[in-house]
Amino acid sequence: MKAKTKIDQLIAELVKGGKVTAEEGERIFKKFWKDTEDERTAIKKGFKKTAKKIERKIDFPTREEFENLKKRVAILEKK
């Protein structure tokens, strides 16, 4: 939350200096926070999409396949 604190401080300075009103400062903060949240969401979606593409190309085993292999190895190790 360092970014939030920095933005709060910057807006407080602007309000104190008379550059913006408290209401304008609040509006600026809310818009900034919403925009960054939207951007963060878009980045996460893009990352997930890219990860899925890579996963398909590499042909990783599914969790179920992996668990089945672990069971088979455990059985073979007991023999």
Write down the mean pLDDT value for the chain: 91
Q: What is the pTM of this model?
A: 0.55
pLDDT of 68 higher than 90: yes
pLDDT of res. 1: 62
18 vs 4: which has the higher pLDDT:
18
pLDDT of 2 higher than 90: no
Range of the domain at 49: 2-78
Sign (positive or negative) of CA dihedral 35, 40, 41, 46? positive
Q: Convert the pLDDT of each residue in 21-59 to its tens digit.
A: 999 999 999 999 899 999 999 999 999 999 989 988 898
Please count the structural domains in the chain: 1
